[in-house]
Amino acid sequence: MAVLDKKKSKVSDKVPSSSMADIAFLLLIFFLVTTTFPKDKGLAIVLPEEGGEVQVSAQNILHIIIQPNGLVEVKRGDSQQVQVVAARDIEGIWRQDVSENDNLIAAVKTHPQAPYRFMVDVLDALHTAGAERISLQLFEG
Amino acid sequence: MPIKGGGFSRKSQASSDVPDSSMADIAFLLLIFFMVTTVFQKDRDRPIIWPEAEATQKIDEKLKNILNIWVQRDGSIFINDRPYAMGEVSSVVAPLYAASDRALVISIRSDREVQYNVIDLLQKQLVAAGVVRVVFATELEQRMQRERR
């Protein structure tokens, strides 16, 4: 059977390269889908518009005065009574006071020489307590 | 005895297949081209120590609508890799805010030890530029960390 001997082997000795492009695209799409870029994160706040000053009843204001050493003085409305607390205690104070007065506004007054992080600590406590009416001011006097 | 095919028994050397071995090379070329040409951030990070906050939230805003204002420990201000004086901030931000169709969000990326009067002046500059949406950029603080403090 000389004719049978002439037939070549059907198995190719080459690495199949036609599917390589598919593999490359598969990898490309996989990485495209799984890549996430770090999102900006922080404490969002809306600043008042210029000239948009609103008169607020003194009873609805919770004065939070941040000292350069990080201690926080809390004054309610127009009473002269001062309570000195740590920044983290603001959370509980806000929760308690807002349950008594729905229209409460947190007036955060920071001493000009106080480090920024103390203001962030107080803002953090207010955000954690769910406060939305926050006014950021500079402490004068 | 006639020879089959008139003696031209050799087959054509030209292949009828589309060459596909180089397709992967093309794919990778495209991949590398797009990797190199894509720009994600306009400015480079400044060396600051981030303040930490437990209530840190992700800002749900498109990357192109966020403008970073960096405040370094010495109080110097950088916008888009360039230093600016405090008085210039308003005039720098205002045209960018107008160009963004009033959608711009300012991310104040300040060092934790910066004196607050710098931040207050910066806020006043932003209000003068008409920008109201501001984010104090912070790192997420774990509750464990806070309790240790």
pLDDT of B109 over the 90 cut = yes
pLDDT of B110 over the 90 cut = yes
Compare B147 and A18 and report the one with higher pLDDT: A18
- Give domain A59-138's CATH number out of 2.60.40.1220, 3.30.70.100, 3.90.226.10, 3.30.420.270: 3.30.420.270
Which pLDDT tens digit goes with each residue over B122-144? 999 999 888 888 999 998 887 66
Please tell me if residue A15 touches chain B, with a CB cutoff of 8 Å.
Answer: no
Q: What value does the mean pLDDT take over residues A54-77?
A: 86
pLDDT score recorded for residue A41: 87
CA distance A112 to B27: 57
Domains in chain B, number:
1
CB contact under 8 A, A21 and B27: yes
Q: What value does the mean pLDDT take over residues B18-42?
A: 79
Q: What is the CATH number of the domain that holds B125?
A: 3.30.420.270
Which pLDDT tens digit goes with each residue over A76-107? 877 778 888 888 888 898 899 888 888 888 88
pLDDT of B5 over the 60 cut = no
Task: Give the DSSP per-residue string, A87-122.
Answer: GGGHHHHHHHHHHH-TT-EEEEEE-TTSBHHHHHHH
CA distance B82 to A99: 47
ipTM for the predicted complex comes to 0.72
Q: Would you give the distance in Å from CA B108 to the centre of its chain?
A: 15
CB contact under 8 A, B135 and A21: no
Q: Which residue of B has its CA nearest to A122?
A: B53
